[in-house]
Every structure is written in C-alpha cells, then in structure tokens.
Structure 1
Amino acid sequence: MTAEKLQVAFTDILKAHQRISPYIHKTPVFKNSKINDLVHRELYFKAENLQKTGSFKARGALNAVLQLKEKQTNLKGVVTHSSGNHGQATAWAARTTGLQCSIVVPSYSPAVKMEAIKEYGAELVECGPLPTDRNAACEKIAAEKKYEMIPPFDHYHVIAGQGTIAVEFLEAVPNLDAILVPISGGGMIAGIAVAAKHIKPNIKVYAVEPEGKILEKSLRAEEMLWPNPPQYLNTIADGIRLQQTGHLTWPFLLQLVEKEVFTVNNEEIIKAMKFVFQRMKLVIEAASGAAVAAAMSDQLQKLDKKIQHIGVILCGGNVDIDKLPWF
C-alpha cells in the first residue's frame, strides 16, 4: 500500500506555534516521584489542563481562526460542534479575534463546559445525542449566518495547532522516548506525531483509548473498521467518547502512530484521576485520566525497557466538580 502524502508538515506546525504563541500559555511539565517509583520509569506530564480554556483545544482552534482571519477580510463568524472543550476553545478564539461565534453541543455536555462557552460570548445551541445531530445543526447555522465551520479535529489547521504541544514538550524534555496521547477524533495525536517524529524520528507515539474504540484492530488492519454512522462509547471520559477517528486524521495515525494502543476502562480512569488530584494537586478531567491510567497500567510495564522517559499528555481540566465520576 502506497502511503498517502500527509497534508500537515513540521513547517506548518512551527508557523502555527509562532502564530498562536502570543495568546496561549506555554504549559508546564510536571514530574512525580511516587508514580515514577510505581512504574519504574520516568514520567513527564505536559499540563494542558492549565492551558487557556482549560484544554489543549485552544491551540488548534486559535490557529484555525487566525488563518481564516488572514485569508478572509470580511469573515463574520465561526461555528463548530463539540462535547465542550473545542467549543470553549473556539468561543475563546473568536472573542480574542473579534468574531461572532455559535457553538453546537449535545444536551449531555457537562454544565461547566456549557457555562464557559456562554461566558466567552458565544451563542450556545443544544442538539440531539448523535454525531449526525451535531453536523446537521452546524451546517444549518453556517448556511443561515454565513459563518465558517471549524471542525473539532478533522481540519489541517487544527491538527497543526495541536502539534505545537510536541514542539514545547520536546524542547522541555529532549530525551523523551515515547508520548502517551488520549485520542478521540485524532487531531491532537496527529499533530503531536508529525512534530515529535520530525524532531526525534525514533520516538514512539502511543494512542490511549477508552474501551470499545477498537483503534488497534483498525490500525493493524490498515482499515477504518468502525460502524457508520459514528457511535459514542460508554465512557466517563466525555472528551474522548467518539468511537471513530476523523477521515483527515486517519492517514497520520496509520503512518506515524504505534499500532499498539493502550485501552483503559472507567475504573482505571477514576483511579488515575484520584491519584493526580491527591498526589500531584492538579485538576484533570477523565480524558486526561485515561492517559495517566495508561501510564500506570500493566501494559506499560511490558514495553521495551529502553523506553524509560515517557511523556503523558494531560489534555484538559474541565471537570464538573459537582459531578466527579467517583461520586
């Protein structure tokens, strides 16, 4: 099979980093001796839970909005759909650049995320529970208001923006051997993989999924094996509950991400979240907990012993403190 030419290059990610750096946080990297003692490796946590809007999504959304502004002088506004984090990020990016904005969210989205979207000044539009409901609502708003659509992951400017995480991470920790990345549609891991593999070709990028995603089976078959239309998974990690990856992100996963995938369940996610809350004093959401759960798993212990320095992406911290998953 001939590899498809990837549409995001390292130069695109460097340009994105230069474009968004004046507006975003350069998030810190944390270590924890307790977890290192448990796993007998060195773990490094990239704290995107401390990013603007509380998640990594600010990077991709802002990069996409700024590029739209550069190309369209008469741009009225933007619209997107999201379970919460990309919605907040797009609302913030629109406010930062002086644009109008509408965000479509499913009715089950955490209240904390929906309130934040409204506080950023965006119009909040609730839709039905299915992925197709989101798309239909977005298309209707885009047509009526003449807004540009910014998808949450399946967009090359979004992918490039998310890749800036790896630029910062490897600048802070050049000796990383691997990075664990939670995956939903695949925008973050696609961007991280492009940047990380360019900076350090031998680095391994592993996807972390909730139970039921069957990503490893798809990667090994080199075929998208998910049902169509896309389904949602039964997981507490609302930020990564989409079963299917994006069509634009898929070639990046196929070419740059390890075929071995870390799969975690709700119980493991809760255990990992509690550890980070109690021992690292950081607030993380369940999607971040999935990456920590992978780092604490037996599967990690079976990796090659040469993989000693492992990066973990704490992708977001937008948790509803009145509805913590262990209550």
Structure 2
Amino acid sequence: MAKDGIAFNDVVKALQKISQFIHKTPVLTCTQADKRSGRNLFFKCEFQQKTGSFKARGALNAVLRAKERLANCPGFVTHSSGNHGQAMAWASQVAGAPCYVVVPQMAPEVKKSAIRGYGARLVECGAQPQDRYDACDKLQKEKNLEFIPPYDHFDVIAGQGTISLEFLDQVPSLDAILVPISGGGLSSGIAIAAKAIKPDIKVYLVTPRGKKMEECLRSGKRPWHGPPQYLDTIADGIRLQQTGLITTPILTELAEKEVFEVDEEDIVDGMKFAFERMKVVIEAAAGASVAAAFSDRLRAMDPTMTNIGVILCGGNVDINHLPW
C-alpha cells in the first residue's frame, strides 16, 4: 500500500538501485547496554555508512532516479550544513554530475571541508534558515539545477527506508525500532518499509526536548507552521522544529503516538556510553537514540516488547569540539 505516493515496492527498488554503491551496515549488540535498558538492544550502525550517515541512501536514490527521469540533468543543488550536504556531494560524484551545496557561513569548517572533499561546490549563505532556501532557489533558477531537499522528497524517503529491509533481514525478531527525527525522512522511510514487512512492529520517534512531536502525531498537524525554526540542542542533526509536508501524514499514520523526548545531558550520556563501552564514534543525534533506549519510559512499556532496534544514524561529530 502506498503512503502519500511512496509504496513498499519503491523502497525495494531503491535498495536494488543503490546497493552496489553503499554499505550494508552491521548490527552491534552490547551486554552492558542490555543490562542498563532491561531489553535486548540491536544497534544499526549507520555511522559506518558512506559519508558517515544514513543520508547517503536517500541522496543516492534521489540522484540516480533524477538522472533516469531527466534527459539532460545539468546537476543538483541542496542546502545542508552537515550530513545531507556530504551525502549529496558524494551521490552526485557517483552519478558524474555537478553538485552545489548551500551552507551557512558559520557552519564548522570541518563540515565544509568534508563537503568539498566529495567534489561539491560550496555556496555560503546567511545564518537564518530562510537564507538557505533563498540561495537554493536562486542557484536552481540560474543554473537549471535539480533541487534535492534533505527529507521531504519521495525518492529520499524511499532510499532511507532501505535501512528497514536490511535491519529486519539481520534481526527478524525486532519488536520495535527507535528512530531519531528531524524533518522525518529517515523515520518515514523506516516506518513504511518496516510496517510492510512486519505489520505489528512499533516505530518510536526520538527527539530533543521541545519539538512537540507527540502533539503532532495525535493531532495530525505539523509541530510548527511558521518559517523554519531550530531547537536549541547539541544534536544538530535533529534540531529542526518542523516535520515535512510529505513526512508528517506518513508518521501520523504509521509511527507510535508515544514519542521519546530526551534531555541534553541524556544525549551526552548516550554518546559517552557508545564511545566508552561500545568503542564507536557517534554524533549527538545518534546519542539521542541511545538515551531513549536507556530511558525510564522504555522500561515502563510492555515487557513482552523485548527486542529493540536502535538507529545510530551518523558519526559525523567534530572530535575537536565534543559536547562535553
């Protein structure tokens, strides 16, 4: 069944299209994490994906699909100060197409350098979220580029959903998946595919404090209706207040109404646990997923829900400026 124009088969086709270029990321377990959570935790290691995050999946699927659809595609443009920008730069390089990435001037140099390293042309803009959209719009019109947004795009969502195909093949017994959410591309794709494979599986969203996502899921209305806004959080990968026009109805239908809102200190604790006990480097957005897995809310849920998937969405953290 299609969800707002995205069917399970679109996810299957996306995996067929991108699998030769991406990693099938491993799943880690950790006895100490299980003891702390009171559940069996299975960590999907998207921090080991190409470009260091799950974003490579959606970006590559969208780029390859656009190249097929458009007879003369002169290149791509997007806006991102982090993972999506790197993913689009890499995906465009794979497809042999130019890529322009609009980045705020104050973005960390380590992120700008990574985007350039994948061959993209960096275009700096102002600090406000709207500045990104304005710069992208100008470039798109001037150079006739194809715009691939970070999350609210059918092919991007289908690409992110390929995680569920892998994860449920690796751990068929999963009862639930914890997914960090910003605009909702990752969580929408995961929910579409996971529910198609295993209808009784639960998909829980993980957010920083203040996103009001639970209210959104219960009302069906986006958590913020004005210009784009950012939450004040160290988890820069999931700081967007809004979910998308495409992703919101998908999540309203498929995600669980209970949302894990995590505090900043818990995000840091999740990151530190991964660094120290699991010996892996994850970014703060992935630390939020670990924090949810250790939360009192999860412990209080149905005890028969024993096998929990945890999406470690990325590892692009500036090791010279860790949040502690």
Task: Work out whether the TM-score is over 0.5.
Answer: yes
- Please, which of 72, 88, 101 is the counterpart of residue 70 of structure 2? 72
- Please, which of 184, 189, 192 is the counterpart of residue 191 of structure 1? 189
Map 1:79-98 onto structure 2 (within 5 A): 79-98=77-96
Q: 8 Å contact 1:112–1:318 — kept in the other structure?
A: no
Between the aligned partners of 2:127 and 2:175, the Cα distance in structure 1 is: 39
RMSD, aligned α-carbons: 1.3
Between the aligned partners of 1:30 and 1:5, the Cα distance in structure 2 is: 31
What is aligned with 1:52? 50
Residue 123 of structure 2: SS of its match in structure 1?
Answer: strand
What is aligned with 1:127? 125
What is aligned with 2:220? 222
Residue 168 of structure 1: SS of its match in structure 2?
Answer: helix
The count of aligned residue pairs is 324
* Cα offset, 1:60, TM superposition: 0.1
Residues 130-158 of structure 1: CA deviation (Å, up to 9, x unaligned): 22111111010111111100000000000
Paired amino acid for 1:279? R
Residues 49-74 of structure 1: CA deviation (Å, up to 9, x unaligned): 00000000000000000001111231
What is aligned with 2:30? 32
Between the aligned partners of 1:233 and 1:27, the Cα distance in structure 2 is: 29
Q: Mean Cα displacement is larger for which, 16-25 or 121-130?
A: 121-130
Between the aligned partners of 2:223 and 2:189, the Cα distance in structure 1 is: 22
Normalising by structure 2, we get a TM-score of: 0.98
Paired amino acid for 1:121? G
1:11 aligns with 2:45: no
Map 1:254-293 onto structure 2 (within 5 A): 254-293=252-291
Between the aligned partners of 1:258 and 1:169, the Cα distance in structure 2 is: 19
Normalising by structure 1, we get a TM-score of: 0.97
Q: Mean Cα displacement is larger for which, 102-111 or 158-167?
A: 102-111
Residue 313 of structure 1: SS of its match in structure 2?
Answer: strand
Paired amino acid for 2:302? D
What is aligned with 1:176? 174
- Please, which of 279, 294, 298 is the counterpart of residue 292 of structure 2? 294
Between the aligned partners of 1:41 and 1:108, the Cα distance in structure 2 is: 41
- Please, which of 138, 142, 145 is the counterpart of residue 144 of structure 1? 142
- Please, which of 242, 245, 260 is the counterpart of residue 244 of structure 1? 242
Structure 1: tracts of 5 or more residues without a match: none
Structure 2: tracts of 5 or more residues without a match: none
Residues 33-59 of structure 1: CA deviation (Å, up to 9, x unaligned): 001011111000000000000000000
* Cα offset, 1:227, TM superposition: 4.1
1:23 aligns with 2:5: no
* Cα offset, 1:5, TM superposition: 5.0
Residue 278 of structure 1: SS of its match in structure 2?
Answer: helix
* Cα offset, 1:108, TM superposition: 3.6
